[in-house]
Chain A
């Protein structure tokens, strides 16, 4: 089945630790996105990538980093510089010549 997978589903981290969230897609989409979701805040864009080896900051990039070495993969690292990392993280992808984004199932990160 074609789709977007995110792992793990739940992730716990101690303060001061970096953690990497995985996002993989087999839809052959060029563009990929990372969003953060907090209760009552909607989705906020962290980073996006339109093509391999290229990515841009979104609205709330501070404390996060990404890489795009393969078309299928767009991992997000939450660094210790992110002051309030506890949230639900959603990855999305988009095909060429369309504005429609398709979402993965999400990863819930909790900082202990």
Chain B
């Protein structure tokens, strides 16, 4: 079975500071990994995904994540936070199955607050 743990339900940073949102996964097979962002009362928007190509994945809005198999982690980072980054972030895992598994397992989310 797959699972995702997001460490820290709430992270607060100052504008311009480094953003680090943590995600650890458990999967019996090589996984696909995703980060989504959700703004208040909206749907989820894909930030980036890891699909077993490069271990460092660049996404939209200046975010990136690094897949570390030895640590079973896929932490999301951004060098300099902007006020517009304030949102909830979800990590998700799927089996590396070329689409045949269909299901994503989501973490519980991390709410990012950016202080001026």
CB nearest neighbor in A for B108:
A42
Interface residue tally on B, bucketed by range: 20 to 34
Partner of A103, one of B41, B45, B95, B98: B45
Given contacts A103-B44, A105-B42, A106-B42, contact A40 B99 (CB under 8 A): no
Interface residue tally on A, bucketed by range: 20 to 34
A39 CA / B57 CA spacing, docked (Å): 28
A101 CA / B99 CA spacing, docked (Å): 10
Shortest Cβ gap from A70 to chain B (Å): 19
A103 CA / B51 CA spacing, docked (Å): 19
Residues in chain A near residue B104, CB distance under 8 A: 45, 99, 101
Asked if A42 and B107 sit within 8 Å, CB to CB, the answer is: yes
- Which of A12-20, A60-68, A73-81, A89-97 forms part of the interface with chain B? A89-97
A92 CA / B36 CA spacing, docked (Å): 13
Shortest Cβ gap from B53 to chain A (Å): 14
Shortest Cβ gap from B110 to chain A (Å): 10
Residues in chain A near residue B94, CB distance under 8 A: 99
Shortest Cβ gap from B97 to chain A (Å): 7
Residues in chain B near residue A94, CB distance under 8 A: 99, 102
Shortest Cβ gap from B105 to chain A (Å): 9
CB nearest neighbor in A for B6:
A42
Asked if B102 and A31 sit within 8 Å, CB to CB, the answer is: yes
Asked if A108 and B108 sit within 8 Å, CB to CB, the answer is: no
1/0 contact trace for A100-112 toward B, CB 8 Å? 1111111010000
Q: Is B34 located at the chain interface by the 8 A CB criterion?
A: yes
